[in-house]
């Protein structure tokens, strides 16, 4: 297949398998989404969804979270891993949101990425899934599949984001981001397929015989 044919096939297949996409991280508002995405770094969404209800029962909003002892936050989120760093980030960013933004989450990349524990990927998820802006957050699944599907050279996630935005129409970014994540978890996982087994890989590259080594 030529690249545009692959792009069309990928879009069609993902829309058939995942016609409706829901955000995998449970949340009631943008602040809770921000915290959930922060906690999801090197942690499964399933585990995050078990931890966040406990955290938000202890502190129901940013003002209450900001008053919690650091140790309490740490003990609650410890199952998510990297708890010392994440608990401090949660406490510090909550205080900053109150001091600088009256408790609201800022609706722009510049201010979001200044918050403790918030990188470009986290900010992109909040901007797209929280505020509804067009964005293409690149996580490990998307970075891996974009390489297996011949859509990027995999040099780094920044380049992958640039390539995916160039190849797919902007109106599809928010949904496509979730579709690829779901597909990567279900059919083209890190320890299977390797670019030669799943439906998309087989159809896009029918002559491919050797497993693809993806760059991290």
Q: Would you please indicate which residues are annotated as catalytic (active-site) residues?
A: 121, 139
Smallest Cα–Cα separation from 61: which of 104, 16, 124? 104
The Cβ of residue 4 has, within 10 Å, a number of other Cβ atoms equal to 9
Dist CA 105 CA 123 (whole Å): 11
CA dist 26 and 45 (Å) reads 9
CB 152 within 8 A of CB 160: yes
- CB-count burial class (<10 Å; 0-12, 13-18, 19+) for 164: buried
> CA dihedral defined by 126, 71, 96, 38, rounded to 10 degrees?
-20
Under 8 Å CB-to-CB from 36, ≥6 apart: which residues? 25, 26, 27, 48, 49, 52
**Backbone angle region of 25, left / alpha / beta, with phi > 0 → left and psi within -120 to 50 → alpha:** beta
Q: How many helices (H) and strands (E) does the chain have?
A: 12, 0
């Amino acid at each position: 297949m030529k690249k545009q044919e692959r792009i069309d096939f990928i879009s069609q297949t993902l829309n058939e398998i995942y016609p409706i996409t829901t955000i995998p991280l449970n949340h009631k508002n943008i602040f809770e989404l921000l915290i959930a995405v922060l906690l999801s770094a090197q942690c499964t969404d399933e585990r995050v969804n078990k931890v966040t209800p406990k955290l938000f029962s202890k502190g129901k909003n940013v003002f209450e979270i900001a008053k919690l002892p650091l140790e309490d936050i740490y003990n609650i989120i410890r199952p998510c891993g990297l708890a010392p760093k994440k608990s401090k980030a949660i406490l510090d960013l909550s205080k900053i949101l109150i001091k600088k933004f009256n408790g609201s989450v800022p609706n722009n990349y510049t201010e979001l990425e200044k918050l403790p524990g918030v990188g470009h990927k986290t900010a992109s998820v909040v901007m797209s899934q929280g505020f509804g802006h067009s964005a293409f957050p690149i996580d490990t699944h998307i970075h891996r599949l974009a390489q297996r599907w011949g859509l990027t050279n995999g040099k780094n996630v920044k380049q992958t984001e640039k390539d995916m935005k160039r190849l797919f129409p902007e109106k599809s970014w928010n949904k496509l981001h979730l579709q690829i994540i779901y597909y990567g978890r279900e059919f083209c996982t890190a320890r299977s397929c390797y670019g030669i087994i799943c439906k998309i890989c087989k159809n896009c590259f029918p002559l491919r015989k050797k497993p693809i080594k993806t760059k991290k």
